[in-house]
Amino acid sequence: MKKLVTLFILCILSSNQLAGQVSHGGKPLPFATLSTRSGSQFKEMPPFDVAEQLRIDSLNESDLRSGFHFAYKFMTDFTPENSGNWFTQADGTRVWRLGIRSAGAYSINVLFSEYEIPEGAQLFLYNPDQTHILGAFNHLNNSELGRLPVSPVQGDELIIEYQEPANVPFHGRLKVGEINHDYRNLRGHEPIGHSPIYHWCIKPLACFQNNTDKYNEIGRSSVLIIVNGQNACSGTLINNTSNDGKPYLLTASHCLNDQFSIKNPDYEMIAGNIVTFFNYESPLCDPVMRGTEEMSMASTHFRATNENTDMALLELTEIPPVYYQPYYAGWNAKDQGSAPYVGIHHPDGSVKRLNTTDQVELTTYPYTDNFIKNGHWHIKEWTDGCTRPGSSGSGLFDNNNQIIGGLSGGISSCPSPYDDFYFALSQSWDVSPDADKQLKAWLDQAGTNTARTCKGLDPYSVTPCIRLSNVKESGKAENVEATPLPSPGTGPAFGNNSLNMNEFAEAYKITGEAKIYGTYIVNPAISKDKEIDVEITVYGGSGKPETLLHTESFKPSFVTTNNNIDFIDSIKPLNRDQETFITFSEPVDVSGDFFIGYKIKTATAATSFSAYNLPKGETSKNTTWINYKGQWIEASAHPASPMSTSLFIDPVIQYNTASANTPIDNNNPIRIFTETASETVHILLPATIREARYSIISMNGNTLQSGIVRSGQNTIPVAGATSGIYLIQITYGETGFTQKILF
């Protein structure tokens, strides 16, 4: 078995959108307050033989691409009644603190096997210097299971702090049931996004998106999952024939039962201890960067598993928020598909990657007797890429972007991209009369789909979220840099520098009214990130930033689980080049011109913060603004480094009117075709629509071209379109549609 790396990922979500592993802001008390670093506050974990544990791990290897075991588990029963210390503040708030110490641990994560707290109470987890803080968790994290898995906190000491106001309706119920000691340096092994040793042949999804939009939707359906805080696998959101938006998640059964080593597993319990991560992707093809870790959901419901085929079907506890941009893949449960085929996965828990092959065939899995005959698709050879541990459960798609199987295992590698095996949906369809051992009962509950195929579904198709990006629209995203001030100046041109600049903004223009849910920001590594205090800003204005609409603290964090039941939040290190998503505490209303950027509130001369930007000469269109000596000026008027540029700050917006966002589907009579080489769009209107208006809009909201089309075929040359993705809007009467096109 090749090893999977568990990924610890941030989750910053507004409390009214999602339950589970979501944290809800706030800060713990300063640790110096009421601090006792020794004595009854700390519980010391006993030592164990790390070398022996590593030896045992090596004996558990197999050809199944399953989990990478990284932590030693201590079973505990620490509660506020039997451990730690209580303090009472002047306002009557009672504070419970418990310290956990496990010598030599790279990180510690815990599982609250009992978790139920009243409204107003808060729970935090952090290391003693509070450089890594998870929480607050509150009553919105209460669940039917009464558990809370939490991600790891760096270091070998962990503080749990529970704050309970006076006069609450009941006292909180907490029990630390498990403590997990990281003996493999998970943070150290946390994928930077690319491993030169194992991943050099597996291209990030972004490499394919530079040339086609074919994989955009199914890319959004592919997710990373962490099982029991120990193992990483991949999975795929999958649609059903009712198109009712149920967020089913397809993965491999061996991801849930630890390669069949768990006998008579409680799959409902295991499903409840899963964290799912969306959009963990490199923003660039080259260089490969660490992706955003902020979009996660805790816990799933068990629906079906068949250990004889390796199929597992789960259901997320809620539909992912709109700004996650989820997509439920269509599927093909027949014994044949159409080439070429692609696999989308998270090898070693790294950023999302894509493989291609031209040929698959049904065969018998050769490396174990656990599976039925002719139950797997055999990949004889990958044209591009290979799989790794962490790829298990990932989807195999045919040329119609329909999933036909999920990865069980194999022996492929970059030097030898041969022989991988995916369990076939067709062989798990109705293989058992029991609903919890088949797919048909869930994916086609009405039992009317004799064709055994289903199209994909965007659950937010009427009002989707759109990621705007001036950098990506330029077609020069791979060239971004953090431009330094020319000598004798010091610091970045668009960060805290010797000119005392500290605020920067990126201009966007949209048609109509919209809400901003948050923003992506791609920034270079910060060596001393603890010394940085940054906030994200949103301005309105006419032609330049004028009215401050919103501020949001730039405090990215990641989420992990404790082995079995806990989900936790943790401050995200910034010491690497990476993309981060900052979720706004509430959506921000904008229209027309708006500006989104960052203000550096505190920093030291030894460290600096900036977003990546397009280098000088890469674009003639400037979209970047600088607050210099109290006045907003364009980057083209920079006092030391004048240039036209764009900052890598990409807001995620949702237009307020459904009619502007309804996608063109198969029920709509309008057909749109593009010819990339000639930059031409063909719009075919039926005779029933005599006239319609079209608009071609760039991904930053600018209208490139508009006009009138009439019934029949309309051929429209698009002047001035650079390579990239655009939106085309068609409106007639009270009806409107939007579709993405690619040049």
Of the candidate ranges 191-200, 225-234, 504-513, 561-570, the one whose mean pLDDT is the lowest: 561-570
Q: Where are the beta strands (DSSP E) in 21-128?
A: 42-44, 71-78, 85-88, 94-101, 107-116, 122-126
- For the record, the structure tokens of 293 come out as 């870790």
User: In this model, does residue 280 exceed pLDDT 80?
Assistant: yes
Q: Residues 46-54: what's their mean pLDDT?
A: 85
Q: Where are the beta strands (DSSP E) in 240-367?
A: 248-252, 274-277, 296-298, 300-306, 311-316, 330-332, 341-345, 353-357, 360-363
Distance CA 170, CA 78 (A): 20
Distance CA 699, CA 651 (A): 11
User: Between residues 57 and 68, which one has the greater pLDDT?
Assistant: 57
Q: pLDDT digit string (tens) for 664-698? A: 444 567 878 776 666 778 888 887 888 888 888 87
Residue ranges in 182-266 assigned as alpha helix (H): 186-189, 205-209, 216-221, 253-256
Of the candidate ranges 2-6, 293-297, 692-696, the one whose mean pLDDT is the lowest: 2-6
For tokens 């959901």, name the residue.
297
- For the record, the structure tokens of 418 come out as 């041969």
pLDDT band at 20 (very low <50, low <70, confident <90, very high): very low
Neighbours of 578 (CB within 10 A): 24
- Residue 347 has φ and ψ, to the nearest 5°, of -65, 130
Q: Residues 273-297: what's their mean pLDDT?
A: 88
User: In this model, does residue 449 exceed pLDDT 90?
Assistant: no
Distance CA 307, CA 292 (A): 33
Q: Where are the beta strands (DSSP E) in 603-702?
A: 624-628, 631-634, 649-655, 671-675, 680-685, 691-698
Distances in Å between the Cα of 103 and the Cα atoms of 180, 248, 260, 425, 669 are 12, 41, 32, 46, 67
Of the candidate ranges 111-125, 310-324, 597-611, the one whose mean pLDDT is the lowest: 597-611
Highest mean pLDDT among 66-75, 154-163, 436-445: 436-445
Of the candidate ranges 68-82, 505-519, 653-667, the one whose mean pLDDT is the lowest: 653-667
User: In this model, does residue 255 exceed pLDDT 70?
Assistant: yes
Question: Is 612 in contact with 481 (CB distance < 8 Å)?
Answer: yes
Sheet of 300-306: strand order equals 296-298, 274-277, 222-227, 231-238, 248-252, 311-316, 300-306
Average pLDDT, the chain: 84
Q: Which percentage of the chain shows pLDDT scores above 70?
A: 85
Of the candidate ranges 107-111, 311-315, 627-631, the one whose mean pLDDT is the lowest: 107-111
Of the candidates 597, 475, 590, 605, the residue with the CA atom closest to the CA atom of residue 528: 605
- For the record, the structure tokens of 676 come out as 């990339």
pLDDT band at 377 (very low <50, low <70, confident <90, very high): very high
Q: Which domains occur in the chain, in start order?
A: 39-189 (2.60.120), 203-454 (2.40.10.10), 466-556+573-655 (2.60.120), 662-742 (2.60.40.3080)
User: In this model, does residue 560 exceed pLDDT 60?
Assistant: no
Q: Which percentage of the chain shows pLDDT scores above 90?
A: 52
Q: Residues 18-36: what's their mean pLDDT?
A: 56
pLDDT band at 231 (very low <50, low <70, confident <90, very high): confident
Task: Report the predicted TM-score, pTM, of the whole model to 2 decimal places.
Answer: 0.74
Distance CA 597, CA 128 (A): 32
Q: pLDDT digit string (tens) for 601-625? A: 987 766 789 999 999 999 999 999 9
